[in-house]
Chain A
Amino acid sequence: MTTYSPGEIMASVAARELGDGEVVFVGIGLPNLACNLARATHAPNLVLIYESGAVGALPERLPVSIGDPALVTGSLMVCSMADVFQCILQNGLIEVGFLGGAQVDRWGNINTTVIGSYQRPAVRLPGSGGAAEIAIHAQRTVIISRLNPRAFPEAVDFITSPGHRARGGTRKDLGMPGAGPVKVITDKGILEADPESGELVLTALYPGVEANEVRAGVGWPLRTRSELGCVEPPDARALHLLREVLDPQRLYLKG
């Protein structure tokens, strides 16, 4: 039986979320691996857009930052950040956006701003970057985050990027164009937003994982879809690409 790390199955599962020809707003880390894995396998026509302005990027090396020079060389277009946010994102052209964060709550709200109070934080995190507007405008978003109850509280300390229900209002109430976080890819299984309420529910487990292990990593009484799916493990080709081509130094796959 093939063995794989949590990072490897997360990147593989995230890659499967991307359809060929889709336009995706890429983040650094696992989302970048997922997008490039998808491009190398089932989605050769995926259009990678980075907030630094690279459109149709074909990075030859693993980008360490979202503004890596390898994102530009050989890309289709480089535009200013005003164009990225206005002509591309606010214009509705982004089909999929990847998001992550220190905290993800029951409604898919994400906190990347502070742990504790804003005025005197216990931990000051980097802040929004482009995440708030990606969460609002991308036609759908996919969250990638490892389970533990502190990372998945009932309610985040600060809503940086809105999910399905923020401070009592729904996305529709608040006039948000995108559908919000449709899936959360964790290291043990997949949560999906309930189509009615927007609450995150457990819908699929990774091979060998019990539902209780996922519940133990979530800080609210996690509901479970009646028929739980079983996620296919990464195949040999995906593992080869991740290990030998996309992240040979294991910058993002470790652990």
Chain B
Amino acid sequence: MDSKVVSMSDAVARYVHDGDTVVIEGFTHLICFAAGHEIIRQGRRNLTLCRLTPDLIYDQMIGAGCARKLVFSWAGNPGAGSLHAFRRAVEGKGDPIEIEEYSHFGMVARFCAGSAKLPFWPMRDYAGTDIPAVNPQIRTVTCPYTGEQLATVPALNPDVTIVHAQRSDSNGNAQIWVMLSVQKEAAFASRHVIVVVEELVDESVIRADPNRTLIPGMIVDAVVVEPWGAHPSYAQGFYDRDNDFYVAWESISRDPAKLRGYLDEFVCGVADRQSYLAKQPGLMERLGADERVCAGVNYGY
């Protein structure tokens, strides 16, 4: 099988275009900051950015001017404060962006519909909330079996989804463990998929433990090997979340000049992820994961 391994720069140049609908998923865990930074470096514009939790990565991309629209369900910096670039854009204090807002279940359901190639997904949700009043994409349908009125959300089929995974082979058969977020549904819903991995492994490693494969190589366009590519998010078994940076983001993003300075130094001022890491000595000692290895299972028959 031909290798799909390319550099982050090549993957973004090839699969992320101005005006695209882009998903970088991962709920707290496995958020691919390396890809977001490369998109900023390559100066992409007018993107529709979709994620349940925009997190620091989309705050940075909004601050860098990449986004035309944000589709989301919870826009905060958990336990630490706000996403201030996002807030300035919607509170009329900066370049405005369009927003389209759901709840978490609504976003998950949009990816479920997208991954199943259905036009919408039914759910028992949104009754009594004001969310549908500000988002006309949330509608209702009458169940043909029970007559119950159900909420619906439309399929989300992004142009490209970028998934960070602990490991894959060169064909993109990607294994993820612990928090799975909505990575699988987002990848299957997407026209193109970039898998970014902490570790490239031989196909035999994948075949030895197929239950751990979340995304099959057949839907993957490119594989990027980028250790520590999720920092300051985390990759379980590799490194912990950099909670100190999440806390620090509150004061960086609050001040547009500080935010610009951060982007200049740590995103646009470096060529790639390795240079980003080289600027932060001590990261690996501070955040490297300890060992909690589980025993394997018997696949014999």
Contacts and interface: CB of A to CB of B under 8 A. Distances in A.
Contact of B125 (A29, A53, A66, A133): A133
A54 interface: yes
A122 to B, nearest CB: 8
Interface string A124-148: 1111111111011100000000000
A64 B185 CA distance: 26
B13 interface: no
B249 to A, nearest CB: 13
A175 B149 contact: yes
A52 B181 contact: yes
7 contacts: A68-B241, A90-B123, A90-B124, A121-B90, A123-B91, A129-B74, A176-B128
Interface in B228-242: 234, 236, 240-241
B286 interface: no
Contacts of B148: 175
Interface string B70-89: 00111110111010001100
A72 interface: yes
B179 A128 contact: no
Given A53-B179, A54-B179, A131 B128 contact: no
Given A69-B236, A129-B74, A124 B29 contact: no
| Dominant secondary structure at the A interface | loop
In this complex, the interface size class of chain B, counting residues with CB under 8 Å from chain A, is: 35 or more
Nearest to B214: A80
A174 B179 contact: no
A65 interface: yes
Contacts of A167: 128, 130
Given A118-B134, A126-B76, A131-B103, A85 B108 contact: yes
Contacts of B52: 81, 129
B189 to A, nearest CB: 12
B35 to A, nearest CB: 19
A159 B130 contact: yes
A128 B287 CA distance: 31
A94 to B, nearest CB: 12
Interface string B125-144: 11111110010000000000
A36 interface: no
Contact of A28 (B79, B101, B112): B79
Interface string B148-160: 1100000000000
B51 interface: no
Given A64-B80, A66-B78, A81-B108, 16 more contacts: A64-B246, A65-B28, A67-B27, A69-B178, A81-B27, A85-B105, A124-B87, A124-B91, A126-B76, A126-B82, A127-B103, A128-B131, A135-B129, A136-B127, A159-B128, A160-B130
Contacts of A129: 52-53, 73-74, 103-104
Given A72-B236, A132-B131, A177 B124 contact: yes
Contacts of B184: 80
B264 to A, nearest CB: 26
A149 to B, nearest CB: 22
